[in-house]
């Protein structure tokens, strides 16, 4: 399996195995507290859920629950309940 380059917010770069999920990639970058506050991510400019698979080089940025985008995601998700 090939490796990919994953960049966190244009700052830290790691080489990770291809087909890793966004959740697994963020676990390599973020503290436990930050991971618990993350509800989704932006990958190469697109919002994705944490189960999205990374199969090519990517720039990722977590969406935290206390951000405007995070609150919108929370509201959307709870509307389905």
The pLDDT of residue 11: 86
61-81 pLDDT per residue, tens: 999 999 999 999 999 988 888
DSSP state of 57: -
Give the count of alpha carbons within 13 A of 2, CB side only: 7
- The length of the chain in residues reads 81
Q: d(Cα 13, Cα 7) in Å, to the nearest integer?
A: 4
Q: d(Cα 69, Cα 13) in Å, to the nearest integer?
A: 24
Predicted TM-score of the model (pTM): 0.89
Radius of gyration of the chain (CA): 13
């Amino acid at each position: 399996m090939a490796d990919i380059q994953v960049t966190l917010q244009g700052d830290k770069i790691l080489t990770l195995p291809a087909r890793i999920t966004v959740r697994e990639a963020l676990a390599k970058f973020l503290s436990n507290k930050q991971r618990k506050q993350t509800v989704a991510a932006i990958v190469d400019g697109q919002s994705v859920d944490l189960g999205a698979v990374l199969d090519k080089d990517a720039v990722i940025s977590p969406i935290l629950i206390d951000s405007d985008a995070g609150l919108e995601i929370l509201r959307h998700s709870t509307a389905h309940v």
